[in-house]
Amino acid sequence: MKNLLLALLMATCMFSIQVSITGCEDKTDDDLCNESSDSEAQTYTPSNDYLVKGRILTLGGLGSCADVRITKNGEDVSDALVIINTDTIPYSFGTYQSSGTTLSSANKYMLTITHEGNTVATGTARVPSDVPTITNLDSGDVHQKDSNLTVEWNALCNITSYQLKVNRSFSGEIYSSDFLNTSTNNYELPGSIFSSGDNTEYTIQLNAINGLYPGDGSASDEEPELGYEIEGPKGYFIGLSQTEVKIYVPD
């Protein structure tokens, strides 16, 4: 599966902090927890030549921030007007991101992108109820070389899938799971990805996602053919929260 670009955004978000209210309008917490992920995202046939990959990252009660990348015919678009709810998101180093401030508190986040006088994208994202917790591993744990590793986590509300990624020091991302059903609370990573010993550092990252479902694997393509939860361009607009642990593999 190609990279969905769900790398940690903590450095982007950890500036000024606001309290965030999570959840969906007109739904109780029980409704959100019981919502099925046996479905697919709302998809749209593109009506223009833009590609948009947008994310809202929640830090639980500490706030949320945005990261939106826009390209057209393979070139970065740096002069669009990107508004999420009432916040204008500035462009910086290839993406539109809410660096310096977190987003205003909201139950849902509505994206509008205008470029050259035309509205080129609209979408709505909701965020998970909290940040996930990996419950059976701690940073600093030692893992046996070439052996499988089971990762376990707590259940969250207001999500449509989970995804696990593994990064190896000096190598970047080396593994990405499919989008996992919301009823899943554990996953076995294959031992083959832990082949480098010599106390190599591996980062296990767990993503809780709202907006992409099991079966929406095509959204991971470098250039998806459809718009996932976003109307106008190809791409996606999703909510997510993340956690990670760092483990070490000796010889």
What are the boundaries of each domain within the chain?
A: 10-128+216-240, 149-214+242-249
Q: Which residue has the tokens 């296990």?
A: 204
Distance CA 170, CA 176 (A): 17
- Give the pLDDT confidence score for residue 62 in this predicted structure: 73
Mean of the pLDDT values across residues 145-154?
Answer: 97
Q: Which segment of 28-42, 47-61, 65-79, 233-247 scores lowest on mean pLDDT?
A: 28-42
> Which CATH superfamily is 149-214+242-249 part of?
Immunoglobulins (2.60.40.10)
With a pLDDT cut of 90, the percent of the chain lying above it is 75
Q: Burial level of 64, CB count in 10 A (0-12/13-18/19+)?
A: buried
**Higher-confidence position of 21 and 161:** 161
Task: Tell whether the torsion through CA atoms of 140, 152, 39 and 242 is positive or negative.
Answer: negative
Encoded tokens for 238: 């999703």
* For the chain, the helix, strand and coil percentages under 3-state DSSP, each to the nearest 5: 10, 40, 50
Distance CA 18, CA 243 (A): 20
Q: What is the pLDDT of residue 163?
A: 97
Whole-Å CA distances, 17 to 113, 133, 150, 170: 25, 21, 34, 32
How far, in Å, CA of 167 to CA of 182, rounded? 23
pLDDT of amino acid 161: 97
Q: How far apart are CA 120 and CA 232, in angstroms?
A: 6
Q: Answer for the pair 202, 214: CB distance below 8 angstroms, yes or no.
A: no
Taking only the tens place, the pLDDT of each residue in 40-61 is 789 999 999 999 999 999 877 7
Using the predicted structure, report yes or no on whether residue 72 has a pLDDT greater than 80: yes
Please give the pLDDT value at position 11: 44
Closest CA to 9 of 109, 110, 92, 115: 92
| 30 has pLDDT over 80 | no
Residue 5 has pLDDT above 60, yes or no: no
